[in-house]
Chains A and B, each alone.
Chain A
């Protein structure tokens, strides 16, 4: 089932939780809503479910405007972070609940409901736990039951709100893989909310990055990681370093020195340069155009060395990654040039090698193996 969110705005007591959000979700897609808390991702999920009413805008299920449909009529499967299991019902009763409350004509006979429940328990790998109460299950098991319960109603869309947020790291990784498998077998259109970028990038077909009630970027894991389209996405996903620069005639300048980076589409004026600390090339022979600074701090991180450089007269600090054998001692001068970078001008214009030169993009993808 395609789901389409059209120009949705949502206010809570005048506070805008979502500001004019539009998003198309394709049938069968596994999509992640990723953002910090307060970014509106859970509100968006609840709007799709019909648990909240948009202040403006509409939600379409297929070609049908679902805005006037109640939660009950929308037929969505919703899984909460804290499972929201019915604690005085057995596991089987929890899973069968959605079928049991159907109106008389469409309600399956109770033997059929039982059969479906145990079938779903097999699917979520909890066979034989029908008679248990939620209280007697571990967190991971509870979340599986919650998912089985949501799947029991054959939902048009499966919505998961921070589904692994309450679980410890080990279980979380297991369940993540397992959710992917379930998705691939059942083929439900699935939307899940998370604040964990690793989870979003690993699991989702497409990631929707949200901030302050807006969608910042929508794309595959590669797209949002490799070509962030805003300073926020740069900062939020992966690690990044930034440096205030000046654009003049399509060239990037740091005070009176050129950096050797070209951004032709960006108008003259102040801008900020973003790049990944590991995505730099060191320049050893002279510096006709580079970023140079002195080492202010250096620390070892696993197989690499992280170095903080003080750049220019303002002593602006940026972090880059150096090979472990690099003799980066205090006060040493290090010159480098980011391989892949983006520059965001104050007026909102974006420039960088990726936008202007597709070749670099593909080359880099091959190199990082993503």
Chain B
């Protein structure tokens, strides 16, 4: 797949360089990307268009589809919101304070990235089931976590936490101490400095972290299905409904739901890019 690297047309396409291998590496990259990612994804688009608008609309507005999407987006939104609060707090503690075990804690934040989702799922189920580690203390209080939407939120908090922490943390590390000092010399007390100077500066990063955690949570499957109970119309998430439709060989149904989710996650991606572009333009840095 060696693309003729020396033709004049090529020179307009890329800046000349003495380093070889452009044709080979770019060719391989594009080919691999096309085969592994683009063609399969295009398949979803193609199958959706094949479906026809009426059929698509029927599936998309089907009660079970709508409630699955509602459950997925609702719980993801809630979990991302919780993660914003605690993620910023955890990042702050890790960046600003020195205490024994800080390094281990810092490393542990990545656990949800590294721990297979199925393992997280069954562990959370064991903890929050009515007879589980924590569940047995919540049950007498009338709080049911596992096998309810609340259980889904718990799993999604686990999954999404590192996204917020790891997005906010580097920006927090970059905060100029002098800016805080200046605020103090201007008479601001610590709370005012944090609320008016530090947190607004973190806003783009927090928004990005929120969007990443949300996007991941919407699509999450492994950690959720064990704790969700998967009751249709109550605690059935959209990715699970796709799996169910596939098992029923109802490919059209699976494809339609997948298409809706893809559109929404690409929209999320677009929003994240907008936030970053806006932040860069206005404040001269990326959150």
Contacts and interface: CB of A to CB of B under 8 A. Distances in A.
Contacts of A49: 181, 185
Contacts of A70: 184
A258 to B, nearest CB: 56
B67 to A, nearest CB: 40
A60 interface: no
Interface stretch (B145-153, B196-204, B208-216): B196-204
A299 interface: no
A244 to B, nearest CB: 45
Interface in A28-56: 49-51
Contacts, number: 77
B284 A87 contact: yes
A135 B178 contact: no
Contacts of B203: 88
Interface residues of A, number: 32
B189 interface: yes
Nearest to B197: A86
Given A84-B176, A88-B201, A72 B184 contact: yes
B187 A101 contact: yes
Interface in B161-194: 176, 178-179, 181-189, 192
Q: Which size bracket describes the interface of B in this complex?
A: 20 to 34
B99 interface: no
A74 B282 CA distance: 33
A84 B200 CA distance: 15
Contacts of A100: 196
Given A72-B188, A72-B189, A88 B200 contact: yes
Interface stretch (A75-83, A178-186, A310-318): A75-83
A98 interface: yes
Nearest to B279: A88
B181 A78 contact: yes
A102 interface: yes
A82 B187 contact: no
A149 interface: yes
Interface string A149-161: 1101100000000
Interface of A: 49-51, 70-72, 74-78, 80, 82, 84-89, 97-98, 100-102, 133-135, 146, 149-150, 152-153
